[in-house]
């Protein structure tokens, strides 16, 4: 499977902070991956994601974009970029995802509207297109923002806590949609602190604690020390017997054997 992004020893420290937010984190994103980044609050998940999508520049290490360009990433940030009282229509919000595709002059035309509608339809949200964004429920908003991210990329979706704050039904709907997009060929890199949901969904897990405590296949994560520690308190029936699809099919392939090896001791 082709590698899309290779992150090597990424480190970041915020200005006026004496401690690293992210330290020496290495992992790869391969085509077709469904990677979940898990970890406690403040463990550096969002900072890592911001480096991957180019919002902030790593202070150490590097990122190699291989089968993908910087601007071919669809991003759903942790906090919605559109304020909840922002008086935009759903179509306008989705269309802002197309700006990413434009060069110097961001004029949006008919093909942009068609792409926006197609992505809303794909997510079962076309009926919302004339509604005001601020009138939508949390789950509907996340669908609209997901449609917006899809307008920016058909290759890689980066999602920061897409189900946080949603009610359980909307959460499982979101997971279902993301799973279907992944099965349709879209690569997914998702942050979640719903670790039980994450292991149910993802093929590979990156467990952050400023450094990477684990990076590898979900089934191996469940047996690893960080995985067992983090999942204690989660009932066994909540955990799937193994990872469903993606990179985990090939357990001999290890994108970062050194780090995973150290996590097993």
Residues within the interface to ligand ADP (CB under 6 A) = 14, 17, 21, 39, 41-47
Question: 89 and 109 in contact (C-beta within 8 Å)?
Answer: no
Among Mg ion, ligand ADP, none, the one that 14 touches (CB under a kind-dependent 5 to 8 A) is ligand ADP
Nearer to ligand ADP, 39 or 197 (CB): 39
Nearest CA to 246 out of 204, 213, 212 is that of 204
Residue closer to Mg ion (CB basis): 40 or 180: 40
* Minimum distance, C-beta of residue 158 to ligand ADP, in the bound complex (Å): 13
Q: How far is the CB of 45 from Mg ion (least distance, A)?
A: 5
Handedness of CA 25, 97, 179, 155 (dihedral sign): negative
Given the complex with ligand ADP, which of 73 and 147 has the nearer CB atom?
73
Bridge partners, residue 206, by sequence: 37, 215
> Quick one: which of 28, 46, 153, 182 contacts Mg ion (CB under 5 A)?
46
Contact 190, 46 (CB under 8 A): no
Q: State which residue, 30 or 194, has the beta carbon closest to Mg ion.
A: 194
Total number of residues that touch Mg ion (CB under 5 A):
3
CA–CA gap between residue 43 and residue 212 (Å, rounded) = 10
- Cβ 198 to Mg ion, closest distance in Å? 14
Nearest by Cα to 192 from 174, 169, 177: 174
């Amino acid at each position: 499977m082709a590698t899309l992004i290779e992150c090597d020893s990424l480190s970041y420290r915020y200005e006026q902070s004496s401690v690293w937010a992210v330290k020496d984190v290495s992992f790869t994103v391969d085509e077709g991956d469904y990677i979940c980044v898990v970890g406690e609050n403040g463990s550096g998940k969002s900072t890592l994601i911001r480096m991957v999508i180019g919002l902030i520049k790593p202070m150490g290490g590097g990122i190699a974009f291989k089968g993908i360009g910087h601007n071919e990433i669809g991003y759903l940030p942790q906090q919605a970029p559109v304020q909840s009282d922002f008086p935009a229509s759903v179509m306008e919000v989705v269309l802002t995802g197309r700006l990413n595709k434009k060069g110097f002059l961001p004029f949006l035309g008919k093909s942009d509207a068609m792409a926006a509608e197609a992505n809303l339809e794909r997510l079962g949200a076309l009926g919302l297109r004339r509604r005001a964004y601020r009138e939508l429920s949390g789950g509907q908003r996340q669908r609209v923002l997901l449609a917006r991210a899809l307008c920016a990329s058909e290759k890689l979706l980066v999602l920061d806590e897409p189900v946080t704050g949603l009610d359980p039904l909307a959460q499982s709907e979101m997971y279902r949609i993301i799973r279907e997009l992944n099965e349709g060929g879209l690569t997914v890199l998702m942050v979640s602190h719903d670790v039980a949901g994450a292991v149910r969904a993802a093929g590979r897990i990156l467990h952050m604690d400023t450094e990477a405590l684990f990076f590898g296949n979900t089934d191996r994560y469940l047996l690893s020390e960080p995985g067992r520690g983090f999942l204690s308190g989660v009932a066994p029936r909540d955990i799937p017997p193994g990872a469903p699809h993606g990179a985990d099919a090939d357990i001999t392939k290890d994108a970062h054997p050194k780090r995973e090896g150290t996590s097993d001791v």
